[in-house]
Amino acid sequence: MTLRERLRSLFLPRRQWLGPELLVVQPGGWFGPLEIIIPRSQCIYRRLSFPQVPVGQRFDALALAADRAAPEPGSGWVARWQGEVAHLWIFPPSVQKALDPAAVAMAESALVPPPSAEDAERLLDLREGVEGQVWRAGRLQASRWWPAPPGETEWQRFLRSAGVSSGGEMPGLTAGTLAPHPWGLPAQRLVWSPAQVERGFWRLVAVIAGLTVGWQFAAWGAWSIAVAWQSAKLDDLRSKSAPLIEARERAEALHARIERLAALLAGPSDYVLIADLKRRLPADARLVSWLRDAASLRVTMRTRERDPRVFVQALSNHPLLQSVQVNPAERGADLELLFDLPATVEGAP
């Protein structure tokens, strides 16, 4: 089934027979109207012609003609058009009252496909009884219903009433199989009843709302799948890049250490600096220990000289060691000299 056929099937009418059992003939589509098939046994057939009536006024003319043709007030009718000819099936008020107000009536004869030949006479085996039909030039010329197959005399009488010369054998019964679509054109301007239009409108609203909600859920599902996929991909990249990040951190730590070592090597040698310091201190000063980093020098020495001014004056003109602090060491006999080393050295030994 093609896409076009699938879409058309949504609007196929739901057809069922008239009666308390409501036998379904065609399930129909979700948006299709409800049609009640009126058996031919319940109908009176009339053929009306409107050759002089404009197309836009034929519906009103047909309604007036149907009311005049009805055998009693309150009768219902249904019609199909073939050009300027209207085929009218009238049914009694009891049938009209039994119809669902939300349904559209459809004559059984209108659903039986026309004969393959343009000129033909046939007997149809219908749901109730049989129907004789005369077709000329592809149009229904006459129709009559019998509760049982007619005899030869009755058949010839029917042909003569239809303006057909008698002769030939009476045709056999043909199964009145119902077609998906009726022949001719509908008499109503609107195939659907007002109740069916309202029902179709609310169903369309429900479909639009369902599509909107479904679209949102589909978008949310696609978004969730994409987020989960991206998270899994990111976790995979993190696990693969963890060794690289570790190596980079180690490299950065080693680089910082090399920079600190390079800063130490940029200045004078520790031995040169300590030897120069030793020459400027009192003669009895004995070096105990020293500790140097990039920005400072800590020296511990033992001497009898306890006046800090002696050390400050001795180092006041030194390019590196002039910033000195003298403090007693943890051991009472020692002194601790703390020097702040400048970043750039000019005139250093």
Tell me whether residue 293 is exposed, middle or buried, using C-beta atoms within 10 angstroms of its C-beta: 0 to 12, 13 to 18, 19 or more: exposed
Of the three residues 189, 224, 239, the one that is the final residue of a domain is: 189
Q: Over range 191-218, report the average pLDDT.
A: 74
172 shares its domain with 207: no
* Residue 62 resides in a domain: yes
- What pLDDT score does 241 carry? 87
**Single pTM value for the model:** 0.56
Q: Which range of residues forms the domain containing residue 232? A: 193-265
Question: Residue 36 to residues 103, 291, 303, 320, 334: CA-CA distances in angstroms?
Answer: 6, 110, 127, 114, 121
49 shares its domain with 177: yes
Q: How confident is the model at residue 344 (pLDDT cuts 50, 70, 90)?
A: low
Tell me if 18 sits within 8 A of 37, measured CB to CB.
yes
38 shares its domain with 75: yes
Which tokens hold the place of 125?
A: 């085996």
Question: Residue 38 to residues 15, 35, 334: CA-CA distances in angstroms?
Answer: 11, 9, 127
- What pLDDT score does 178 carry? 92
* Residue 347 resides in a domain: no
Share of the chain above pLDDT 70, in %: 86
Tell me if 54 sits within 8 A of 75, measured CB to CB.
no
Inform me whether the pLDDT recorded for 125 exceeds 50: yes
Q: Which residues pair with 330 in a beta bridge?
A: none
Tell me whether residue 298 is exposed, middle or buried, using C-beta atoms within 10 angstroms of its C-beta: 0 to 12, 13 to 18, 19 or more: middle
Tens digit of each residue's pLDDT (9 = 90 or more) over 70-117? 999 999 999 999 999 999 999 999 999 988 887 889 999 999 999 999
Which tokens hold the place of 322?
A: 């002039």
Amino acid making up residue 205: V
Which residue, among 302, 297, 307, has the nearest Cα to 276 in the 3D structure? 297
112 shares its domain with 47: yes
Number of H helices, E strands in the chain: 8, 16
Tell me if 180 sits within 8 A of 12, measured CB to CB.
yes
215 shares its domain with 260: yes
Q: How confident is the model at residue 347 (pLDDT cuts 50, 70, 90)?
A: very low
* Residue 204 resides in a domain: yes
Question: Residue 244 to residues 230, 236, 268, 292, 319: CA-CA distances in angstroms?
Answer: 21, 14, 38, 34, 45
* Residue 326 resides in a domain: yes
274 shares its domain with 255: no
User: What's the rounded Cα separation, in Å, for the pair 313 and 305?
Assistant: 13
206 shares its domain with 246: yes
Of the three residues 246, 265, 284, the one that is the final residue of a domain is: 265
- What pLDDT score does 84 carry? 93
Q: For the ranges 20-24, 87-91, 174-178, which has the lowest average pLDDT?
A: 20-24
Q: Over range 199-211, report the average pLDDT.
A: 77
251 shares its domain with 110: no
Question: Residue 197 to residues 139, 203, 250, 260: CA-CA distances in angstroms?
Answer: 32, 10, 77, 88
> What is the Cα Rg of the chain in Å?
56
214 shares its domain with 327: no
Q: Which residue has the higher pLDDT, 154 or 19?
A: 154
User: What's the rounded Cα separation, in Å, for the pair 337 and 179?
Assistant: 117
CA angle 71-77-83, nearest 5°?
115
Amino acid making up residue 136: R
Q: Which residue has the higher pLDDT, 40 or 28?
A: 40
Q: How confident is the model at residue 198 (pLDDT cuts 50, 70, 90)?
A: low
User: What's the rounded Cα separation, in Å, for the pair 188 and 253?
Assistant: 91
- What pLDDT score does 34 carry? 84
Of the three residues 189, 216, 241, the one that is the final residue of a domain is: 189
Inform me whether the pLDDT recorded for 279 exceeds 80: yes
Tell me whether residue 167 is exposed, middle or buried, using C-beta atoms within 10 angstroms of its C-beta: 0 to 12, 13 to 18, 19 or more: exposed
- What pLDDT score does 119 carry? 92
Backbone angles phi, psi at 344, to 5 degrees: -115, 145
User: What's the rounded Cα separation, in Å, for the pair 332 and 306?
Assistant: 11
Roughly how many angstroms between the first and final C-alpha of the chain, as a whole number? 101
Q: Over range 142-170, report the average pLDDT.
A: 88
* Residue 348 resides in a domain: no
Q: Over range 32-52, report the average pLDDT.
A: 91
* Residue 86 resides in a domain: yes
Tens digit of each residue's pLDDT (9 = 90 or more) over 248-276? 889 999 988 887 776 656 566 777 888 88
Q: What is the mean pLDDT of the chain?
A: 84
**Total count of domains within the chain:** 3
Q: Assign residue 333 the CATH number of its domain.
A: 3.30.1360.100
